Amino acid sequence: MTPGFERVCVIGLGYVGLPTAAILANRGFHVLGVDVNAKTVSMVSEGSVHFTEPDLDVMVRGAVAAGRLRAAAATEHADVFLVTVPTPFTADKKPDLSFLRSAAQSIAPVLDDGNLIVIESTSPVGTTQAFSEWLAELRPDLSLPHRDGEDAQIHLAHSPERVLPGRILVELVQNDRVIGGLSARCARRAAAFYETFINGECLLTDARTAELVKLVENSYRDANIAFANEVSIICDRLGIDAWEVLRLANRHPRVDILKPGPGVGGHCIAVDPWFIIDSAPDESVLIRAARRVNDAMPVHVVAKVREAAERFKSPCIACLGLSYKADIEDARESPALRIVETLAREGVGKILVVEPHAGGLPAPLDAVPGVTKADLDAALDAADVVVLLVDHRAFAGIDRSRLDGKAVIDTRGLWR
């Protein structure tokens, strides 16, 4: 640990904040995790976790027991503030920075000369500068880097998180980090902090560039998936096997097309492109089209299921998987969830949902009649139509003879 960075305050104990807090505490920092959710604060204070991520529970328990990780509702004086709050979008797809603004308000009263603040939340271009401006309004006694540059008392940088759910604790340490300072000194200071606990390389730049880099990464992936999805729709139209086309095309040394699926879910790839579209609406032609293609995929899948179900008198439809991707429980923005909900609401058939990673049905489905949770065996026995929505490992090895005589829609290419 480097002098000057002993006390770290992590604002937002979610998918990124809590694992980061746990890693820092295990490296010997004194960490305070701050969250607006009282349940999260009490769970972490007791050494438990509020979401599933490999090894996180053990790490949090150890850090709390060692007295190096605490959780609270209020921010306290610290050397470093890491901001890991959500940046969702509004109903009309505009970035919602209200959590970041609240974070600035909570930091301002306890801010001291020499403090480092790093925003890790995915942010539209210009957010780090706006954060500095908010702080300047609240603390006119302090000099801030958007105005006072290299000489500012407070150092402010943006370093977007790039971790993949399911591998967060590994990737937090191993991945390279882009670090964009509001001044070169801010970037160097933030890099000095990260170098104390990451093995990846720190790549220094300015804040606006770092903000855009993160948005570009996820928009690239969104566009690549949209391309795969469009190919799969074209293949359906032409009666050609899309998986075979993509397998062969990817044998070209310079072609690497991602996989088609039922749509793009999660809280990152389906959201971040909108931040670019909002900043440069006229220029974001391809990025907007990709969003449209991916958002339309659930409708395409529902149409296929409806067509398959029409062959049966009172169809029973087994929907395998609800999460937004394989082997996790997270169902935020999940296309599988949207598909199941639409099938049920439109009365396409009796729906049996199989989700080995969830206890019960999530809230949006709970209220929908005609949907029941089932185990894999029971669902396969009863189903006329089997719709594979998530490529969970648990579904990979099923005996193919169980699918005989049924209409099968494998949206992930798992059973090829």
Question: Which residues are identified as catalytic?
Answer: 214, 268
Element spanning 293, H or E: helix 285-309
Number of residues that bind ligand SAJ (CB under 6 A): 21
CA dihedral sign, ordered 384, 265, 200, 195: negative
Q: Does 385 bind ligand SAJ (CB under 6 A)?
A: no
Which residue has its beta carbon closest to ligand SAJ? 268
- Residue placing its CB nearer to ligand SAJ in the complex, 268 or 409: 268
Mapping DSSP onto H, E and C, the string for 46-87 reads CCCCCCCCCCHHHHHHHHHHCCCEEEECCCCCCCEEEECCCC
Tell me how far CA of residue 346 lies from CA of 225, 299, 368, 376, in angstroms.
28, 12, 11, 24
What is the nearest approach in angstroms of ligand SAJ to the Cβ of residue 94?
18
Sheet of 385-388: strand order equals 371-373, 350-354, 316-320, 385-388, 407-410
Are 336 and 360 in contact by the 8 Å Cβ rule? The answer is no
Our CA dihedral for 360, 51, 291, 123, rounded to 10 degrees, sits at 150
Structure tokens at 288: 């907007």
Q: Does 164 bind ligand SAJ (CB under 6 A)?
A: yes
What is the nearest approach in angstroms of ligand SAJ to the Cβ of residue 214?
7
- Phi/psi for 228 (5° steps) reads -60, -40
What is the nearest approach in angstroms of ligand SAJ to the Cβ of residue 323?
9
CA–CA distance, 281 with 382 (Å, rounded to integer): 48
Q: Does 259 bind ligand SAJ (CB under 6 A)?
A: yes
Q: At what angle do helices 56-65 and 17-26 cross, to 10 degrees?
A: 50
Structure tokens at 356: 């080995």
Q: Does 225 bind ligand SAJ (CB under 6 A)?
A: yes
- Residue placing its CB nearer to ligand SAJ in the complex, 133 or 217: 217
Who contacts 232 (Cβ-Cβ below 8 Å, separation ≥6)?
242, 260
CA–CA distance, 204 with 188 (Å, rounded to integer): 7
Q: Does 264 bind ligand SAJ (CB under 6 A)?
A: yes
- The residue range among 39-47, 107-115, 159-167, 365-373 that interacts with ligand SAJ, by the rule CB under 6 A, is 159-167
What is the nearest approach in angstroms of ligand SAJ to the Cβ of residue 73?
25
Q: Which of 221, 288, 300, 373 binds ligand SAJ (CB under 6 A)?
A: 221
- Residue placing its CB nearer to ligand SAJ in the complex, 32 or 270: 270
Q: Does 33 bind ligand SAJ (CB under 6 A)?
A: no
Q: Which of 291, 325, 350, 392 binds ligand SAJ (CB under 6 A)?
A: 325
Q: Does 61 bind ligand SAJ (CB under 6 A)?
A: no
Q: At what angle do helices 272-279 and 285-309 cross, to 10 degrees?
A: 140
- The residue range among 133-141, 163-171, 359-367, 368-376 that interacts with ligand SAJ, by the rule CB under 6 A, is 163-171
What is the nearest approach in angstroms of ligand SAJ to the Cβ of residue 273?
11
- Bridge partners (DSSP) listed for residue 316: 350
Q: Does 217 bind ligand SAJ (CB under 6 A)?
A: yes
Q: Does 163 bind ligand SAJ (CB under 6 A)?
A: yes
- The residue range among 135-143, 256-264, 301-309, 350-358 that interacts with ligand SAJ, by the rule CB under 6 A, is 256-264
- The residue range among 74-82, 144-152, 262-270, 348-356 that interacts with ligand SAJ, by the rule CB under 6 A, is 262-270
Q: Does 338 bind ligand SAJ (CB under 6 A)?
A: no
- Phi/psi for 311 (5° steps) reads -70, -15
Interface ranges with ligand SAJ (CB under 6 A): 122, 161-165, 217-218, 221, 225, 258-259, 261, 264-266, 268-269, 272, 324-325
